[in-house]
């Protein structure tokens, strides 16, 4: 059977590309993410009472990878990119139905022009369609005794080293987001590289807002090399 769904909102996020997005929510709280509700759902009545909750569940579509289909076995980054598990034992984007679920902090609700939810710690790509929003209820949904399988804790954190050039470029930006330095450090500390790549000389680029952050990783350190204005999409 087919079930048609319409997006109730759209994500506005500093993550312009899939590469670099934290692999789980809450790992980069400096990211300024919001969900703009779309008509006819952008009426204040739809969020009445939601301000009493500190966290919400966001149901969304993996829209950039939806046309790639699904795989029965996937390689989670936490297992080094080689070991395989079943798709339903993972949070892979390549699923039979390309649906995602994130638990995020609700920092505020802006009703000045429609409805916009201000979030923290969201692992959501800019432009992501949102299918549903539900309040998080701790006494029924928090399970500290639950087993985490092969995801037994947060990922190892890299130390961040800024080059003099990157610091100068950061200082010269005309009007950067206030939390840009913190966001750069939080994203790179989680080592966004593919698990199978470990070349200490290779330079990578991750796009945050309108900036391309060039970096390399060596000896458990992420070296911020340059901050460049990203080319228009």
CATH code of the domain in which 170 resides: 3.30.2310.20
pLDDT at 69: 86
* Cβ(215)–Cβ(203) below 8 Å: yes
Compute how many other C-beta atoms are within 10 angstroms of the C-beta atom of residue 43: 13
Domain count of the fold of the chain: 2
Residues 133 and 167 in one domain: no
Q: What is the CATH number of the domain that holds 100?
A: 2.40.30.70
> What is the DSSP code (8-state) at residue 17?
S
Separation between Cα atoms, residue 178 and residue 194, nearest integer Å: 29
CA 154 and chain centroid, separation: 15
Whether residue 3 is contained in a domain is answered as no
Token representation of residue 203: 């330079």
Last residue of a domain, one of 110, 141, 172: 141
Residue 129 sits in which domain range?
9-141
Q: Kind of pairing, strands 159-162 and 221-229? A: parallel
Per-residue pLDDT tens, the chain, 233 aa: give them.
Answer: 888 899 999 999 999 999 888 888 888 999 999 999 999 999 999 999 999 999 999 999 999 887 888 889 988 877 777 788 999 998 888 899 999 999 999 999 999 999 999 999 899 999 999 999 999 999 999 888 888 887 777 777 899 999 999 999 999 999 899 899 999 999 999 998 887 777 889 999 999 999 999 999 999 999 999 999 887 76
- Burial status of residue 17 (CB atoms within 10 A of its CB: 0-12, 13-18, 19 or more): middle
Predicted TM-score of the model (pTM) = 0.90
| Whether residue 173 sits in one domain with residue 126 | no
């Amino acid at each position: 059977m087919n079930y048609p769904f319409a997006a109730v909102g759209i994500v506005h996020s500093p993550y312009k590309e899939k590469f670099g997005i934290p692999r789980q929510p809450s790992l980069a709280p400096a990211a300024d993410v919001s969900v703009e509700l779309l008509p006819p759902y952008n009426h204040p009545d739809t969020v009445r009472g939601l301000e009493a909750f500190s966290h919400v569940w966001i149901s969304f579509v993996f829209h950039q990878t939806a046309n790639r289909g699904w795989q029965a076995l996937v390689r989670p980054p936490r297992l080094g990119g080689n070991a395989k598990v079943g798709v339903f034992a993972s949070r892979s984007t390549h699923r039979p139905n390309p649906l995602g679920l994130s638990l995020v902090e609700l920092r505020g609700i802006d009703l000045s022009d429609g409805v916009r939810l201000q979030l923290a710690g969201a692992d959501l790509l800019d432009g992501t369609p949102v299918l549903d929003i539900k309040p998080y209820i701790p006494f029924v949904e928090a399970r500290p005794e639950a087993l985490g399988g092969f995801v037994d804790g947060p990922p190892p954190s890299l130390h961040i080293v800024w080059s003099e050039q990157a610091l100068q470029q950061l200082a010269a930006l005309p009007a950067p987001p206030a939390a840009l330095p913190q966001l750069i450090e939080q994203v790179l500390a989680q080592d966004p590289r593919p698990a199978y790549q470990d070349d200490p000389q290779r330079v990578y680029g991750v796009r945050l807002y309108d900036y391309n952050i060039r970096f390399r990783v060596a000896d458990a350190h992420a070296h911020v090399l340059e901050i460049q204005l990203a080319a228009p999409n």
